[in-house]
Amino acid sequence: MIKAPTSWLQRDAAAVWHPFTQHGQWLDDEPLVVDRAEGPWIYDLDGNRYLDGVSSLWVTTFGHRTPEINRAITDQLAELDHFTFLGATHRPGIELAEELLRRAPEGDRRLSKVFFAGDGSSAVEAAMKMAYQYSVQTGRARQKFVRLDQAYHGDTLGAVSVGGIDLFHATYQPLLLETLEVGSPGVRRPGQSAGDRATECVGELDAVMAEHGGEVCAIVVEPMVQGAAGMLTYDPLFLRAARRVADRYGALLIGDEVATGIGRTGRMWAVEHADVVPDILVCGKGLTGGCLPLSAAMVTDEVYQAFLGAPSQSRTFFHGHTYTANPPAAAAAVANLRLMTEHDLVDRAARLGDRLGELLKPVADHDGVTEVRRLGTMTGIDVRPMGERTGARVCRAALRHGVWIRPLGDTVILMPPLALSDVEVEFLVEAVAAALEEVY
């Protein structure tokens, strides 16, 4: 008889396959078993508390278990748990679309319709299918996408096709769509300025589009920060150029704000740093405040109008998911967005980012640190490799000092909840500094 596992970690190892996790060493890393959470703090089974330094997976807005958001969910469950959004509608979905459009970036075009999805990757898939079908229904039938090196847009096949991180994406190359790559404006040579690197990449984009512009339905970018590549920040001139180039060749610009949106960069949307409005803006992660999965693609009226027509014309966007616009998730998002406005959270996030930057100056001078990058609260700390998995060692050391953070290779990531107090952000940075001392 097989002996039943006893501890929660043993039970996990016996039954669970975790994402982005090498189970060959899963238990060796002494993974945290989270029992409860409140505000920016998480608690393990023994009652030890840790500051959540990465907002779970970049999703927590105010903190965990925000009372107003929880109440919106329970109130909604008392009225309507779920009903399809395919050919029917409901109040939370309508209200959320209205709230998003009120907060949409403003500029030379206006985002006027909202299409809901389940998570960031599925919203990117929807945006890509929209862009292709838009090109077909406007008489151009373009099949190619322009993507950036070091990009990450999710893990479904379309999203992987426009990604550019070999570690995550190379295995699936034979399955992917044909795309055109432009260098990352966030990858700079030593001593090279952000502006000079962005100018180089604009030149690459110009060259690609001069040769293939008539085949491209969309240019896909993470505005201002390539998150999964290690918080690679770049000059806004590249984003402005991408907008101009897309217009010149009749391609759409897709702004993937799944990670950067909802206040993370100190603006509601990262595209606002460049005064740019994409044709399709994708959001997710922090949309519900970090408690339920939900994402959306906001589109211009020009894009939306291309899908209208008689049923016999087959212009319908035949795409959707079972739990699209789930009412409790939509209610959570409405509560989160309204609470953000009430508490001026985007401006608070900008101030939090500035404070984080000040506190990290001594960390940037540490012998074990090669570079610190930050926009708003999105922060990447490159650490000097010392054997294998140095970034993971720093994060495990930080846990011993009361902070939960995760690495991307040898880049230590910080992306705390946006409502973090001064005392809490100081605690976060002190723990990172102590962890660096412990490792180096």
Q: Tokens at residue 332, please?
A: 């959570």
The answer to whether 279 and 252 have CB atoms below 8 angstroms apart is yes
Q: Tokens at residue 47, please?
A: 């009652």
The answer to whether 272 and 255 have CB atoms below 8 angstroms apart is no
321 is in an annotated binding site: yes
406 is in an annotated binding site: yes
Q: For residues 215 and 431, what is the distance between their CA atoms, to the nearest angstrom? A: 50
Cα 414 to the center of its chain, rounded Å? 13
Q: For residues 100 and 112, what is the distance between their CA atoms, to the nearest angstrom? A: 10
Burial 278-309 (b: 16+ CB within 10 A, else e): bbbbbbbbbbbbbbbbbbbbbbbeebbebbee
121 is in an annotated binding site: yes
Q: Tokens at residue 139, please?
A: 């008489």
218's enclosing H/E stretch is strand 216-221
169 is in an annotated binding site: no
345-359 and 422-439 are packed helices; what angle lies between their axes, rounded to 10 degrees?
Answer: 30
Q: What string of DSSP letters covers 394-432?
A: HHHHHHHTTEE--EETTEEEE---TT--HHHHHHHHHHH
107 is in an annotated binding site: no
* CB neighbourhood size of 3 (10 A): 6
120 is in an annotated binding site: yes
47 is in an annotated binding site: no
Q: Tokens at residue 48, please?
A: 């030890």
Q: Tokens at residue 365, please?
A: 């001078």
Q: What string of DSSP letters covers 287-338?
A: GGSSSS--EEEEEEHHHHHTT-S-GGG--S-----TTTT-HHHHHHHHHHHH
Bridge partners, 6 (sequence order): none
Q: Which of 382, 375, 371 is nearest to 353 (CA)?
A: 375
Q: Which of 57, 361, 415 is nearest to 231 (CA)?
A: 415
Q: Tokens at residue 396, please?
A: 């495990």
Q: How many residues does the chain have?
A: 440
129 is in an annotated binding site: no
For residue 113, the SS3 value is strand
* CB neighbourhood size of 402 (10 A): 17
61 is in an annotated binding site: no
Binding residues for pyridoxal 5'-phosphate: 120-121, 256, 321-322
Per the annotation, where are the binding residues for substrate?
152, 285, 320, 406
- The binding site comprises 120-121, 152, 256, 285, 320-322, 406
